[in-house]
Chains A and B, each alone.
Chain A
């Protein structure tokens, strides 16, 4: 298939900005994307589905004075862009004036970041990635005879470019690639079924290790067989890196300046205050080459950077885009994110990075003594209130008894509030890993001194 390249995308963005100013916008910004992606689903040793796709589109943010509107579409022809530009300018006329709303200004040269795109994505034949997915499944099944099936192995890769142009002279483009695979294994014993998840992410299929991914899912499913419900109590818990990633995602979200400025964050008015134990050190890092959200610039062309958020127990910064920076008399931290051209930029964490501690998982368990090791949480979208910081979510994991992993546990809840939980973090583990849950998070297991468990 023919592809749309970075030069075409830069050109489309430029033409979109011109179309918007012709449509009456006093300022405009356009973001264009083109991509090519592939997905393979494997079940029981066979390919279930194979998807190949190309995509392209553009989104225009138009300003009429201090009013702003957005429009997006898939038609990059002159008439398509003219129609979009009219829609964006028309939308701006509906908005109320907002003194802090303005087109972002150019703000310095973006950093050079190596390795965002691995050409191996395009070079790897589909037959090879099918084989990778099949190997992942086989590894999981061979791990334990009680692992009886894998619901499916999903492999996805994508390679694309994005470009930006604004009427104030911001312009640029970059390319990136991603590949990831995950599976859910099922272990069976009598009538009981338990599941286990395995996953990995990288810049190309070469970065994915079938052994590790399959083993993680198979082992977890088998280890959960015979799980029971724990007694309701308050006790020490060790959170797996999957769980600490989800928590980091909520904390990162609550540190975004728009919700803070609108009084909808448990961290509002806490800058400089003590918000956690000293063990919890968190940064937003948009330039770590290992992070999937890494890019030379953010969704409005501001260079990405590293921002220290929590250190020495204190809240050091909020995350900003150009709007919240203007409103909060701060500078943009390069955190204007775009899910795609289909949405206007809004403040969001890039990669959240938790500083590793010194204790291995085994040592964290020993330090906990007796408690619960939480490997999985469920119901996060309804169980966490981002305004109040309170949470109550479903959980599963293992008991901790005498510093060792003990019986599997399921069907219980953990509950508390984010600030209380942060204050109770006793130690962060040393085994750091990139986890694609809660955004893009580099994290480790953690020991929390006290958490409420709701069981029987």
Chain B
């Protein structure tokens, strides 16, 4: 695959630096996508897209100048490079000759989803729809969507880097609405990986059973309690808790501006010694995995918390240079239209030694948060909030009534410190993370995790 010839890339970099600048980079991208949904048992909204474009940046001192264009023709690229150079009036700098890149180690894609007939994708959606609707007479609505996307990127910079990546992702999502005696509840489940269509081998419609079961269970739910209590968070998407509570605060842009409660805490104990956590961009086939980040740095596994001590922040090139360290391969961008910023890839808490059942068994009165709709954090203050999509009361060491409409709320440092048990189980889930107007696919994971003392916000005051 060649998005842009190396010779042309070299000329663009030379032009971008023709009136000064310390660093220039050309990021080229081709994005292809296809999506399809089923709603009211009808296949609808088939949609395909192809975009080609480039982003060029020139860094001079601490100032980044950025231009992006739709299209990869020489004209488009040169126009953007000229625009950048025209803002400077110094002496030209000469980019280093581009080195022939090593072939990236790509995730194995057995079946290119773009080559699979759309009818097969429609068939899978019909299976999901049928499975959801057959889960119970209370199921009133089901809808599901299929998404495939391929991002081919090529990155060149004035330090001689030439690198590329080719990322294919496939994802299914299903939503179920259940209704009984005027009560309405919803359930949602997804399946997604950095993988080809083979992801959907086997029984992908199992996620319809899971979504339906969630909605049906909630029909009998009580209003969630409000107040402070012990919370046991389920595995998989429960990892969104660590993503929000800690991950965002470790991104070096926030840290360097003092806009993170983790600033200045490197090497300090921030959690109990039982806690180990990672950001890992090379986990095979996970949602946030890549060969390189969007600046050409190889993705890697970064230990961020070791035995309760904070061991690393997450860096892109710009922020790494400022701290005099190497990039951790976390310079990601939503597309060629965006500047790279430090972002998580796949973030998870390593399995611990507690038995999940015993973790619940030890709780006299608490809350069991099995799944989340999502969360949000303000890294500067550390305040976070999570919407619980499936939650239960814990009474006398037993999981009892389902609860609707619960939110977990707290402060990062306090909540992280209060994790007193990590389960032996482990699961990864897919998510979309928004930051500074950019959306990135991220993986989140963990086993069961118990937090002593967290505020549950429900309506039962």
Contact = CB atoms under 8 A, between A and B. Distances in A.
A87 interface: yes
Contact of B66 (A2, A49, A229, A343): A49
A447 interface: no
Interface string B44-63: 11111111110000000011
A352 B39 CA distance: 28
B45 A413 contact: no
Given A91-B48, A382-B373, A415-B226, A394 B457 contact: yes
B258 A149 contact: yes
Contacts, number: 247
Contacts of A43: 257
B436 to A, nearest CB: 8
- Chain A CB within 10 Å — which of B375, B404, B459 has the most? B459
Contacts of B67: 51-53
B160 interface: no
Contact of A454 (B42, B70, B407): B407
A344 B385 contact: no
Contact of A73 (B42, B50, B380, B389): B50
> How many A residues are at the interface, by size bracket?
35 or more
A382 B387 contact: yes
B44 A91 contact: no
A228 to B, nearest CB: 12
Contacts of B62: 46, 48
A143 to B, nearest CB: 17
A344 B47 contact: yes
Contact of B39 (A57, A262, A456): A262
A347 to B, nearest CB: 13
Interface in B224-245: 224, 226-228
B226 A454 contact: yes
- Chain A CB within 10 Å — which of B67, B254, B261, B389 has the most? B67
A96 B47 contact: no
B459 A452 contact: yes
B175 to A, nearest CB: 8
A415 B226 CA distance: 10
Contact of B405 (A1, A343, A390): A390
B458 interface: yes
B337 interface: yes
A232 B226 contact: yes
Nearest to A47: B63
B400 interface: no
- Chain A CB within 10 Å — which of B43, B53, B122, B259 has the most? B259
Contacts of B64: 48-50
A96 B42 contact: yes
A416 interface: yes
- Chain B CB within 10 Å — which of A2, A74, A344 has the most? A74
Contacts of A229: 455
A262 B40 contact: yes
A232 B259 CA distance: 29
Contacts of B375: 379, 382
A308 B384 CA distance: 37
B373 A186 contact: no
A76 B378 CA distance: 41
Given A94-B118, A379-B385, A454-B457, A413 B47 contact: no
Interface in A339-360: 342-344
A46 B257 CA distance: 13
A98 B44 contact: yes
Contacts of B374: 379, 381-382
A401 interface: no
B387 A454 contact: no
A94 B459 contact: no
B199 interface: no
A410 B47 contact: no
A392 B387 contact: yes
A412 B39 contact: no
A72 interface: yes
A394 B409 contact: yes
B257 to A, nearest CB: 5
Interface in A49-69: 49-57, 68-69
Contacts of B404: 390
Interface in B86-133: 87, 118-119, 121-122
Interface in A87-138: 87-88, 90-96, 98, 126
A91 B407 contact: no
A396 B383 CA distance: 10
A393 B36 CA distance: 31
Contacts of A394: 376, 383-385, 407, 409, 457
B457 A382 contact: no
Contacts of A390: 404-405
Given A84-B50, A262-B39, A344-B45, 19 more contacts: A46-B62, A46-B63, A51-B68, A72-B50, A74-B50, A74-B53, A94-B43, A94-B119, A126-B87, A184-B380, A193-B261, A193-B381, A378-B376, A379-B387, A382-B386, A383-B373, A392-B459, A412-B409, A453-B461
Interface of A: 1-2, 43, 46-57, 68-75, 83-84, 87-88, 90-96, 98, 126, 148-149, 151-152, 184, 186, 193-195, 229, 232-234, 262-264, 342-344, 378-379, 381-385, 387-388, 390-394, 396, 410-416, 452-456
Interface of B: 34, 36, 39-40, 42-53, 62-71, 79-80, 83-84, 87, 118-119, 121-122, 140-141, 177, 184-186, 224, 226-228, 254, 257-259, 261, 337, 339, 372-376, 378, 380-381, 383-387, 389, 404-407, 409-411, 455-459, 461
The 9 closest A-B pairs by CB, nearest first: A413-B457, A382-B387, A394-B385, A454-B457, A382-B374, A382-B373, A379-B385, A454-B226, A91-B46
11 contacts: A49-B63, A50-B64, A55-B69, A70-B48, A74-B70, A262-B40, A379-B376, A383-B407, A392-B406, A413-B226, A454-B407
